[in-house]
Amino acid sequence: MAVVKVATFNLYHFAAPGIFWHERKLSATYSENQWAEKKAWIASLVARMDADVIGFQEVVSHEELAALMAACGYPHFFSTGHPMFDPDDPAIYVNATVAIASRHPFVSAHPLSGVAGLPDDTVIDADFNFSRTPVDAVIDLPGIGRTRIFVCHFKSQGAFVDDDEIDAIAGWDAKIRTTYMERAMAGVNQVAKRAAEAGAIYRLFRQVIDTDPDAPVILLGDLNEAPGSHTISILTQADRVWSWGSVAADAVPEEFAYLKHVYKLYDAFNLVVMQGLTRPNTHGGIVSGSVLDYCVVSNGLNPKNPRRRGAVIKTEVFDEHFEIGPPKDRASDHAPVVMTIEAMDEG
């Protein structure tokens, strides 16, 4: 049977020399030699990953990434657009983009905007949008068929307070009181934004699944939340359902019981039996890091689904650089996650 591999890879400030990340200082940009080292490291790791499709985060210099991936054997590339730069200093980028590279042609690829109807039935404002515009692509994967693939980078963690605003306040009492209040409100914003992004992507999965319950749909992303978080459960619907209206959860008629699985999404790591007792970190380090990067799939790729189009058989975290280097600016502070899918048909 055909085997297909897909991956998610946060590149850590993929910005060509002369572009600064977040502030203008020498440690926030690359020299020509550092940039060459970083690209060489990425190319080497991409070769080891051997994925058919890769979703990227923290992309600033998208044209350079397209050229690099073409040289690595990925002729099909799409980025959601240009990053955001500081209006007071156009050499400083303040928000990156995402991208996708594929060995197989795109059926379609475009930026994803809006929140799929969320404002109608939540407290989210009608003008809400993704913090970084996702990729929405369709690729005809060997043995699996047309597969919709989203590449996301959810809102970053951290309640950021404007230093200039606090510096302008006279008196320590006012400074401290204001800092706490601003931090609280900023915290609400970043948590709510990730939750809304998760809900929006779930609804987009459902648009496909409601038409074809066994359709293969994939999310590749840095979701900036831990596996047990409420945000991830919004996306996957992993929390236990105690009842369907007034009917107990286990009292669904047998002929409809399979629907309980159709409308959930699945963290690919959890679909592989006995993969390991400890889940590898994907951000920060092997010991002191966290899990932020995911491959999430529809029931159409669930090994337990008898009608599946493919089955997730393996996930890997390429984290050697956390221990042996190079430094994160010439590598990444994230580890790529690679998911292997066994197709049901010969490809």
- DSSP letter at 171 equals S
| pLDDT digits 0-9 by tens, 147-157 | 999 999 998 88
Cα distance between residue 339 and residue 5, in whole Å: 6
Most confident of 113-117, 119-123, 195-199, 233-237: 233-237
Angle, alpha carbons 102-104-105 (nearest 5°):
100
Cα distance between residue 19 and residue 65, in whole Å: 15
Q: How confident is the model at residue 181 (pLDDT cuts 50, 70, 90)?
A: confident
Share of the chain above pLDDT 90, in %: 66
C-alpha 138 chain-centroid distance: 16
What pLDDT does residue 168 have? 86
- Residues 250-261 have a mean pLDDT of 88
Computed over every residue of the chain, the mean pLDDT equals 91
| pLDDT digits 0-9 by tens, 41-100 | 999 999 999 999 999 999 999 999 999 999 999 999 999 988 899 999 999 999 999 999
Asked, as a colleague might, if the bond just before 87 is cis with ω within 30 of 0, I would say no
| pLDDT digits 0-9 by tens, 200-227 | 899 899 999 999 999 999 999 999 999 9
- Structure token pair of residue 229: 């978080």
Q: What is the pTM of this model?
A: 0.92
> Which domains are assigned to the chain?
3-156+192-343 (3.60.10.10)
Cα distance between residue 190 and residue 188, in whole Å: 6
> Hey, what amino acid is at 338?
V
What pLDDT does residue 308 have? 95
Asked if 140 and 146 count as a contact pair (C-beta separation under 8 A), the reply is yes
- Residues 232-247 have a mean pLDDT of 90
